[in-house]
Amino acid sequence: MFAIAFFYINPGAADAAEESTLWDTINQSREEIADDFQLRELFQDINRMIHSVINAITGNSDEPPEDVEDPDLHEPTDQLFSIHNIEMGDDRSDVEAEVGSPERSSLSEYGLEWVTYHDQYHNYVQVMYDEEEQVRGLYTNQDLISSTSDLSFGSLQEDVRGELGEPESYLRKGSFDIQLDGDGEHDVFAEENQYVTVFYDVHEESRVTALQIIDEEIEQSRSAMYRAQDESLRDGFEYQLFDLTNAERVKRGLAPLTWDEAVRSTARDHSQDMADQQFFSHTNPEGESPFDRMDDDGISYRTAGENLAYGQWSSIFAHEGLMNSAGHRENILQGHFDALGVGVAFNEEDQRITRRNSLVLNQ
């Protein structure tokens, strides 16, 4: 069981507990009318106005990071797709001549590490290398995609399928098949000894929002749907989700969040509790909410939000799934959140529960 918890926080006043209760009530009210586009837009405008006033009073700033120059993207020479001018099979030395030094390395579900490159979360790309330091996996959720066709970041799903054909309906794993049902949120294509997963944003006309490419041999080496429990893998998923969240925010002009170790601990505890007691809810069997758990752990905050995910293959699939859920998406893209803690746990079937908590911290 794979649980992720996200808490988001920002500097506040001494009466933060009362404010957080009020904010929780407001959030619940907003969710009840989330299907009404005009009302949702009105609430978002009010939310931005309220937090502009709060920031003016407290001196806190939600200013986005400075712009970073976009790379000059070229059409790939040997592959259908490239990401940040990187193609499958490239040498690591050539990659880092293009994108610079890595920001983080963390274990993936394939037993290899995702190596992350970015400039303050601009030009974000994840690269997976084999033992010979050649590219065997690529991912981005930013406008860094080039192709030999007209496909790119922001292409419509119908255009992707028109160019690449019908997506795969199952993935063969040894003697058994895994059914692939993206439910309109992603497609998997078998192309040139690679598995290309195209992720779509259902809130933006099902346009391409991310791309993952995995070498066929690497994919087939993962014999099971879920990789066995491992502390390094848990850490990897947590840091990957943190980076994915910040890359998503920066892409949309929002400031990145800071890592909060205390919140991570609270998130992990709830994820593990869900795995152990076999439930999946923001409220535990003892009736404690995320706010109760943070209070018990001595975490001060003005406002907080929690996202939960269960059973996804990886941090990437978890993140993209959350972005296609209106309420979770709103938490990820809240401008007033400052910090993030992510906690992952595994159940007996080695499925992940992910809990992501974002907070507005008190100082």
Q: Mark whether 27 and 86 lie in a shared domain.
A: no
Asked whether residue 71 is assigned to any structural domain, the reply reads: no
Asked whether residue 34 is assigned to any structural domain, the reply reads: yes
Give pLDDT, residue 35.
Answer: 41
Kindly report the number of other CB atoms within 10 A of residue 73's CB atom.
16
Q: pLDDT of 99-152, one tens digit each? A: 999 999 999 999 999 999 999 999 999 999 999 999 999 999 999 999 999 999
DSSP state string for 98-163? HH-S-SEEEE-TTSSEEEEEEETTEEEEEEEE-TTSBEEEEEESSS-EEESSS--TT-BHHHHHHH
User: Which tokens sit at 295?
Assistant: 């209070």
Give pLDDT, residue 121.
Answer: 98
Q: Mark whether 304 and 214 lie in a shared domain.
A: no
Please provide the size of the chain in residues.
363
- Say yes or no to pLDDT of 259 above 80: yes
Q: Mark whether 207 and 293 lie in a shared domain.
A: no
CA–CA distances in Å: residue 305 to residues 20, 287, 296, 339: 10, 17, 16, 11
Least confident piece of the model among 261-265, 343-347, 350-354: 350-354
Asked whether residue 297 is assigned to any structural domain, the reply reads: yes
Asked whether residue 167 is assigned to any structural domain, the reply reads: yes
Mean per-residue pLDDT, 82-93: 98
Q: Mark whether 40 and 111 lie in a shared domain.
A: no
Looking at the structure of the chain, the number of domains it has is: 2
Give pLDDT, residue 34.
Answer: 40
Give pLDDT, residue 303.
Answer: 85
Q: Mark whether 184 and 275 lie in a shared domain.
A: no
- Say yes or no to pLDDT of 11 above 90: no
DSSP state of 233: H
Please, which pLDDT band fits residue 183 given cuts at 50, 70 and 90? Answer: confident
Asked whether residue 76 is assigned to any structural domain, the reply reads: no
Please, which pLDDT band fits residue 180 given cuts at 50, 70 and 90? Answer: confident
CATH no. for residue 47? 3.40.33.10
Q: Mark whether 87 and 149 lie in a shared domain.
A: yes
Q: Maximum Cα–Cα distance for the chain, whole Å?
A: 63
SS3 90: coil
Mean per-residue pLDDT, 36-51: 48
- Say yes or no to pLDDT of 261 above 80: yes
SS3 222: coil
Asked whether residue 74 is assigned to any structural domain, the reply reads: no
Q: pLDDT of 286-338, one tens digit each? A: 999 988 998 999 988 888 889 998 878 799 999 999 999 999 999 999 998 99
Q: What is the mean pLDDT of the chain?
A: 82
From 191, 221, 251, give the residue that closes a domain. Answer: 221
- Say yes or no to pLDDT of 49 above 60: no
φ and ψ at residue 217, rounded to 5 degrees? -65, -40
Q: Mark whether 353 and 251 lie in a shared domain.
A: yes
Residue 147, C-beta contacts closer than 8 angstroms, at least 6 positions apart: 75, 76, 80, 81, 82
Provide the domain limits for residue 177: 81-221
The number of helix segments (H) and strand segments (E) in the chain equals 10, 16
Per mean pLDDT, which of 148-162, 178-192, 210-224 is the most reliable? 148-162
- Say yes or no to pLDDT of 13 above 60: no
Distance of CA 21 to the CA centre of its chain: 27
Per mean pLDDT, which of 22-31, 122-131, 176-185, 213-222 is the most reliable? 122-131
Q: Mark whether 91 and 214 lie in a shared domain.
A: yes
Q: What is the pTM for the complete model shown?
A: 0.82
Please, which pLDDT band fits residue 30 given cuts at 50, 70 and 90? Answer: very low
Asked whether residue 1 is assigned to any structural domain, the reply reads: no
Q: Mark whether 198 and 303 lie in a shared domain.
A: no
Asked whether residue 73 is assigned to any structural domain, the reply reads: no
From 197, 221, 245, give the residue that closes a domain. Answer: 221
Q: Mark whether 284 and 355 lie in a shared domain.
A: yes
From 221, 251, 281, give the residue that closes a domain. Answer: 221
Choice between 284 and 82, residue whose per-residue pLDDT is larger = 82
Q: Mark whether 272 and 326 lie in a shared domain.
A: yes
Instruction: Report CA Rg, the chain.
Output: 20
